[in-house]
A and B are shown apart, each in its own frame.
Chain A
Amino acid sequence: MTIALVAFWIALGAVVLTTALATSLRAFGALTAARRERYRAEISEPLAAFAVGAVDDPPPPPAGRFEQRVLHEELARLAPHLKGDARAQLTGLFERYGLVESVARDLRSEHPLTAIRAAELAGIMHASECVPTLRERLDGDPLVRLACARALAEIGAADAMPQIVAALAESGTATELGHTLMSFGPRAEPVLREQLRSAPTDAQRRIAASTLGEIHAHAAVADLVDALGDRDTELRAAAARALGQIGEQSAGTALVALLVAAGGGRDVACAAAATALGMLDDPAGAAALVIALAAGDWDVRNAAARSLVALGDRGLAEVATRIDGLPSAAIAHFAGMLDVADRLGPVIARAAAGDPAMDRIARAACACGVRSRLRELATGGDEDVSGYANALLHEGSHT
């Protein structure tokens, strides 16, 4: 009986305690939210009007910590939508109301989210006064570190880059490091090239390669071409993709060599090289891509087909020239990708109009079983095209 009574009282206690706790927290939350909304309503419109120059007087300065926080939030919400003078107005107000000090104080907070939000605001407001504090926090909690690094990038504190590299490399967030450095734009190029050459981990080198591609760093082409010969497959792939993004014609030969070297086997670098070649206007690249269409690995074949489709008429011409030597799986893959890109219809139309190269592609595609577009066009309005499509389908049914 005692056990039952104890259990009953514990159960009752748990229910009452939960209800009381949740209710009181809800009440407290509702009061705080109401207060926040009141203050927000008071400052929101005047702040926007002041920023765009519609009124001369800004909203009254915050009375205490609570109001400061709400003003922080409003500034963080408003500032990214403003540029030029309007943004400068807000930055001026940010300094005038002593918010730099409050952000710096929040940056030193032991509560990670407070520090993260402060760093975000410092970045949004381009608060260069906060740079020393932001740099100090680069050795703290990984997410605070990350927020500070991003803020430094937004402020444009280029001299903090080596410290950012060290801080983010330590926390293992290579993607974020790349993204952060990307925010510095071309100024990050020397740091990234150095990273690509000598960063201690493969992950960092891969990200450096990707980031160089994202910022279209033409000066890094030689380093990226060197990286195509690295032992790490992922790095080779990242370098190939970056060269494609940069679009430097001179990288074509190295990419072709990488594509050929794998011999069509399973290799992410090989597929990446095929993708990159689709971004370059290189005649040798198109020829290599047609060869890669016959690769045993699906991903390589797919990347080659995609790239040939992306190359437009050059890709079509190259495939038409070499189509007799291609296995049916390669033709079907290429024709399928043309169909997905909604380009097979126009190829059939050109074939119907008497283009011999397109005719070869259309016939080969039909022979390989790629017939959905032909069936659709066979019942279409254009007599020449429907006649051609019907004839091809008829021939196909007899082969």
Chain B
Amino acid sequence: MSPQTVATDALRTFNAVVLVYFVLITLSYMIVTATSAAQVRAYFRRRSEASLRRLLHSPVAIPVSICVPAFNEALTIVDSIQAMLTLEYPQYEVVLANDGSTDETLAQLTGGFGLRRVDQPLRTEITTAPVRAVYRSRSHPNLVVIDKCNGGRADALNACINAASSPLICCVDADSIIEHDGLLAAVAPFADRPATTLAAGGIIRVANGCRIDRGHVTEVRLPRNPLAMFQTVEYLRAFLAARTGWSALNGLLIISGAFGVFRRGDVARADGFAADSIGEDFELCLRLHRRAREAGTPYRLEFVPDPVCWTEVPQRLRQLGGQRDRWHRGLIDTLWRHRGMIGNPRYGTVGTLALPFFVAFEFLGAFVETLGYVAITLSLVLGIVNWEFALAFLAVAVLAGLLLSVSAVLLEDLAFRRYGRLRDLLRLIAYGVLENLGYRQLITAYRMRGFCSYLRGNKTWGEIQRVGFGPADAPAAGAALAAERDV
């Protein structure tokens, strides 16, 4: 057999493999989506507003410390914290760590909340970068501000955890907006299943385009910016159609650092967030799974589909690229740290199902897709496949993504309908279709870049620029330059 024949056969086989891979990935995601739909339905068959209200007035409601890491957030910090201080929850405090900001973050806080420096004793359970000072608010006794040297997001969260006085901690980004009853709904699993719930997360939605007044979303609108629109569909798919399903299977691997509730003691005993990790929320969740499985204790990591946290997403390609690059490095780094769990039956659904799924489709997906595009182009040029096969390949690839996006949009519309206008629904569907013709390929390219950065040992977060949410009478669409968190 000549080398040319071997190469031709190899290319043909690879093309077939890629095609099968696309079918498999679609089927797997569809199964997860179907599980999510069933879970959302079951959730709404039981969720009673009155039960949630009862928790609000319950003397046994578990106190919560909202942990907010902040780095150069001067533009939005006062509004964000003001909004956090008006959440509906019986007993909570806000612990903010100013992570060595070089802008006016601390000055804004001092002016906005009448901070006074106190000599508050702090735990040293988790090692962090040095704390410079602790401040308490004269006007809001439940606000604590820790001023510390820069150590990164995970380090700032750890400082908050050291200072937190409640048994539950809720990790939130400084520019995130939690809906007024979001905390109540996110804490509900801890009240319902106190013995087994280790962590719970809510849904992150895209704030770009929404009307925002003093840290509150007053009108839900879709972004005008196409890049933010694509991400809106993407977030719906990631949270509603994926995490809900994984949660039902007790295989939830990520509780977003932008909005996640944990038991303080469990996180502290696990040495907090890994300060040297770039995917610290994913890494912590895996560590919690690992510890609970190894200890043989029954546990659950829950995703609750209706407590909402609004966040800005990048509207510029450079910022989006940096974000996705970092997310992919975080994914690889965490999978590598916990490689012993992959495929290991000792770790139950996480080891045998969720992690292999992540490796096969989240990690390898970018490679297969990229190589697939290269192989098919090459095959076409070399005449190994005809136009019909290439078209079939493209059609299957597009169909795979389209089915998932459209089903996520449908699930959102049936269960939550946050985007009330019919025009919004049609736009979501349209972007669900369009994202497969360019945006998806772009994200794949960013992920490949992330892989290369990881190999080069890049562990930086990149620069984050914010210009804040828009004023009350203007949509926030043009506001965000970047938002840095995991989907």
A residues neighboring B (CB under 8 Å): 1-5, 7-8, 10-11, 14-15, 18-19, 21-23, 25-26, 29, 76, 111-113, 116-117, 120, 141, 143, 146-147, 150, 172-176, 178-179, 182, 203, 210, 214, 298, 301-302, 305, 332-333, 335-337, 339-340, 344, 369-373, 376
Contacts and interface: CB of A to CB of B under 8 A. Distances in A.
A1 B392 CA distance: 6
Contact of B406 (A14, A143, A203, A372): A14
Residue picked from B45, B194, B395, most chain A C-beta under 10 Å: B395
Given A10-B399, A174-B195, 5 more contacts: A113-B46, A120-B51, A143-B51, A298-B121, A372-B133
B136 interface: yes
Given A4-B392, A15-B429, A336-B121, A182 B48 contact: no
Contacts of B60: 175, 178-179, 182, 210, 214
B409 A18 contact: yes
A113 B45 contact: yes
A35 to B, nearest CB: 18
Contacts of B414: 22, 25
A370 B46 contact: no
A113 B44 contact: yes
A22 B407 CA distance: 11
Nearest 5 interchain pairs by C-beta: A7-B395, A3-B392, A4-B395, A336-B121, A370-B119
Interface string B186-206: 000001111100000000000
A11 B46 contact: no
Nearest to B53: A80
Given A1-B391, A111-B45, A150-B54, A336 B399 contact: no
Given A23-B425, A26-B422, A376-B116, A182 B396 contact: no
Given A3-B396, A4-B392, A112-B45, A173 B402 contact: no
Contacts of B388: 1, 4
Contacts of B195: 172, 174, 203
Contact of A340 (B44, B118, B192): B118
| Interface size band for B | 35 or more
B291 interface: no
A372 B119 contact: yes
B111 interface: no
Given A340-B118, A369-B119, A18 B48 contact: no
21 contacts: A1-B388, A3-B396, A4-B391, A4-B395, A8-B395, A10-B403, A15-B402, A19-B429, A22-B413, A120-B50, A172-B195, A173-B193, A178-B60, A179-B60, A214-B60, A298-B125, A332-B121, A333-B121, A335-B119, A336-B118, A376-B117
Contact of A298 (B44, B51, B123, B398): B123
A113 B422 contact: no
Contact of A112 (B46, B193, B391, B403): B46
B59 interface: yes
Nearest to A146: B51
A116 B50 CA distance: 9
B370 interface: no
A10 to B, nearest CB: 6
Contacts of A2: 392
Interface string B89-112: 000000000000000000000000
B402 A116 contact: no
Contacts of B191: 175-176
B48 A15 contact: no
B426 interface: yes
A298 B45 CA distance: 44
Interface in B51-86: 51, 54, 58-60
Interface of A is mostly: helix
A173 B121 contact: no
A305 B121 contact: yes
Contacts of B48: 113, 116-117, 120, 143, 147
Nearest to A201: B195
A37 to B, nearest CB: 15
B465 interface: no
Residue picked from A1, A25, A76, A337, most chain B C-beta under 10 Å: A1
B433 interface: yes
B38 to A, nearest CB: 14
Interface string B232-268: 0000000000000000000000000000000000000
Contacts of B429: 15, 18-19
B398 A11 contact: yes
B361 to A, nearest CB: 19
Contacts of A143: 46, 48, 51
B392 A179 contact: no
B485 to A, nearest CB: 29
Contacts of B409: 18, 22
Contact of B120 (A10, A76, A147, A340): A340
Contacts of B346: none
Given A3-B395, A19-B429, A175-B60, A372 B121 contact: no
A372 B117 contact: yes
Residue picked from A11, A29, A339, most chain B C-beta under 10 Å: A11
Contact of A214 (B59, B116, B120): B59
A305 B165 CA distance: 14
Contacts of B133: 372
Contacts of B406: 14-15, 18
A13 to B, nearest CB: 10
B339 interface: no
B410 A371 contact: no
B459 interface: no
Contacts of B433: 11, 15
B47 interface: yes
A179 B90 CA distance: 15
Contacts of A111: 45
A2 to B, nearest CB: 8
A336 B119 contact: yes
A117 B47 CA distance: 10
Nearest to A372: B117
A80 to B, nearest CB: 9
A221 to B, nearest CB: 20
Contacts of A339: 118-120
